[in-house]
A and B are shown apart, each in its own frame.
Chain A
Amino acid sequence: MTAPILVFGWGNPGRGDDALGPLFVERIEAMNLPGVECLTDFQLQVEHALDLKERQRVLFVDASVDTATITATRIEASRDTTFTSHAMSPQSVLQTYLDIEKATPPPSWQLAIGAHSFDLGEPLSKLAAHNLDAALAWAVDWLTGK
């Protein structure tokens, strides 16, 4: 049976703060929260629209250089015009779901975790590690409906 809540974190675990998405997913998965499925990948892509099927809520999680701490935003399906196919926005994945499933995508949020260092082989920066803890604290409330 499909878990009602999907947590999807993405990024390259080998590139410093870009690991925030996968690390977030790893930590949430370790909590064994009921009704929560965790998925991760290098990048968000078209086929991930298929992972949204039969979900009640979805949380997209990624490292971001646009926030100093953490930012959670309700997101809607929208078309974007990414230059390459090498990565998609979560809004565009929702739009893909809408277009191929002919149904409204599940309610979705994007959790952006502040990051600033993406060097190859480097561990998380101090700032990113601090933000990861804050993101997990926020997410536990969100996932358990508090």
Chain B
Amino acid sequence: MSFELETATNPEQLRRLAIDPVSRVEGHGKVTILLDDDNHVHQVRLHIVEFRGFERFIQGRPYWEVPVMVQRLCGICPVSHHLAASKAMDMVLGVKLTPTAEKVRRLMHYGQILQSHALHFFHLSSPDLLFGFGSDMAKRNVVGVIAAAPETATKGVLLRKFGQEVIRMTAGKRVHGTGSVPGGVNKSLSTEDREALRKDIYQMVAWSREAVHMIRALFESNLAEYNAFGRFTAQSMGLVRADGAMDLYHGGLRARDASGKTLFDHFDYGRYWDVIAEEVKPWSYMKFPFFKNQGPDDGWYRVGPLTRVANCDFIPTPLADRERQEFLAYDSGSAAGATLGYHWARMIEMLHAAETIKDLLNDDDIVGTDLMAPLGERQERGVGVIEAPRGTLIHHYRVNENDEVFRANLIVSTTHNNQAMNEAIRQVARQYFDGREVTEGLLNHIEVAIRAFDPCLSCATHALGQMPLEVEIVSRDGTPLDRMMRDARGICSRN
């Protein structure tokens, strides 16, 4: 499959501009832009240049270790992997969770959604949104937000802290929690922890609602740019509940084409391979998933907050559902198709997460004692799918009669969004780079487009994740002409 601007017709005659994210364990992702002598864009690619085989690491391990082990994948969203693996092993054991077990897991999951979305919005994206995509780098960072809007930033810190506390109280500890186990949970919420969380949750709901209004105001203040920035049309996929409601913990797969027409609905994710396949491209280690019946050329899609908010029939908490309706109706629905619409949708989901946590804390099952389900009919294959903060997360295992995992396949959210992120940065390159001299501010436009998806290269590459930048411009004969470096602390230098 090849898309416009994916492959230049005469790459040897072009200058190569590389935005090279590297981590403390060396690079695993970069953006390259091929320009001609007049700075016209001919090729744009988001590459993943390093991959560590986590699936192989799991093979041979007993199935009950997997929900804890998979948290080693990533320090950003370990809870999502913990729960997806637990769900897969539930299927292996043939169990149906007790009400307490399912609700404790849901509480853990919505705590993860809350903290992840708060972190992303207040501390990753809001610097761009508040100060402008090409603004002074000295301001365009987390502490810049705190300096400019201390109250907003403090709320962000406290929202994140609250979500982390929900995780700690349900998973058992901050790192490598063990709360969820195949067949259930190993503890419910204590009465003391329930009261501690209940004391603050109403404030968290109020602040989450303010955050939705904040991103809406940002959209309204610059509607034309927000709507146009990195905009492209795409198909979409995500889980929905049996009645069509948003459900980030469990449901069936729903896919829609770019016009909103349903492609499949309530599809049993236990056979996801009947509808999704993956393609490998020689220039990236990250695979390109696509809808099987459409083929790799036409079958790509996007996942995550934007698609979840747009694809569900309703959100089953009142405040978030009202915001969803306003989001979809705003400017005739334009924001729901914008790349930066991810931020608005993300805040609606954060509000939904806060409301859901409130409801769960007010449900007595959350402190129940019936933690483990009775064993059912044992299966060789287990598939667990969850809507992680960044999108659909698939864990697929096969377990032999000795209880050892002999096959594992993980499709993480960032992988689902691979083609979509490539499309977004190609649009941005067209809009902002074409024919212009490259500056740090312009390069940040590329980062802004990638950040909208909140990619986690730790998950996608199974490597540690930090993304400083290295930018190199090379002449036709391969001579380096210019180089821009941003180190792990974000300090920019040029040589």
Interface residue ranges, A against B (CB under 8 Å): 12-15, 18, 22, 39-43, 45-47, 49-50, 65, 79-89, 92, 95-96, 99-100, 118-121
Interface residue ranges, B against A (CB under 8 Å): 21, 24-25, 52, 54, 57, 69, 71-72, 75-76, 78, 119-120, 123-124, 137-138, 140-144, 146-147, 150, 153-154, 156-158, 160-161, 164, 174-176, 447, 451, 456, 458, 462, 464-469, 486, 488-492
B462 touches A120 (CB 8 A): yes
**Cβ contacts under 8 Å, B466 to chain A:** 82-84, 86-87
B146 touches A99 (CB 8 A): yes
A80 touches B489 (CB 8 A): yes
For this complex, 20 residue pairs linking A to B, each with C-beta atoms less than 8 Å apart, are A12-B464, A13-B72, A40-B174, A42-B175, A45-B119, A46-B119, A46-B157, A47-B158, A47-B164, A80-B143, A81-B489, A82-B141, A83-B447, A83-B490, A92-B489, A96-B142, A96-B157, A100-B146, A100-B150, A121-B57
**Cβ contacts under 8 Å, A119 to chain B:** 52
Q: Which of B69, B144, B161 contacts A50 (CB 8 A)?
A: B161
CA distance A89 to B142 in the complex (A): 11
A43 touches B124 (CB 8 A): no
CA distance A40 to B174 in the complex (A): 8
B493 to A: closest C-beta gap in Å: 12
B262 to A: closest C-beta gap in Å: 35
Q: A14-B72, A46-B156, A100-B150 are in contact. Are A83 and B467 (CB under 8 A)?
A: yes
A88 to B: closest C-beta gap in Å: 7
Q: A46-B157, A85-B124, A85-B142 are in contact. Are A99 and B75 (CB under 8 A)?
A: no
The 9 closest A-B pairs by CB, nearest first: A14-B72, A42-B75, A81-B490, A85-B124, A47-B161, A99-B146, A80-B489, A118-B25, A81-B141
**Cβ contacts under 8 Å, A99 to chain B:** 143, 146-147, 150, 153
For the complex with contacts A13-B176, A81-B140, A82-B466, 20 further pairs of A-B residues with Cβ separation under 8 Å are A13-B72, A14-B72, A18-B464, A40-B174, A41-B174, A43-B75, A45-B119, A49-B157, A50-B161, A65-B24, A81-B138, A82-B142, A83-B21, A83-B486, A83-B490, A84-B124, A85-B120, A86-B458, A86-B466, A100-B157
CA distance A46 to B122 in the complex (A): 10
A80 touches B465 (CB 8 A): no
CA distance A90 to B491 in the complex (A): 15
A111 to B: closest C-beta gap in Å: 17
A92 to B: closest C-beta gap in Å: 6
Q: A13-B176, A80-B141, A81-B491 are in contact. Are A46 and B160 (CB under 8 A)?
A: yes
CA distance A118 to B466 in the complex (A): 14
CA distance A87 to B456 in the complex (A): 12
Q: Which of A12, A15, A81: most chain B CB closer than 10 A?
A: A81
A92 touches B465 (CB 8 A): no
A40 touches B157 (CB 8 A): no
CA distance A83 to B69 in the complex (A): 28
B160 touches A45 (CB 8 A): yes
A46 touches B142 (CB 8 A): yes
A120 touches B447 (CB 8 A): no
**Cβ contacts under 8 Å, B447 to chain A:** 83
Q: For residue A85, which residue of chain B has the nearest CB?
A: B124
**Cβ contacts under 8 Å, A45 to chain B:** 119, 160
Q: For residue A65, which residue of chain B has the nearest CB?
A: B24
Q: For residue B69, which residue of chain A has the nearest CB?
A: A14
Q: Which of B76, B141, B176, B467 contacts A79 (CB 8 A)?
A: B141
A22 touches B175 (CB 8 A): yes
Q: A46-B119, A99-B150 are in contact. Are A15 and B72 (CB under 8 A)?
A: yes
B150 touches A46 (CB 8 A): no
A120 touches B160 (CB 8 A): no
B142 touches A118 (CB 8 A): no
A105 to B: closest C-beta gap in Å: 13
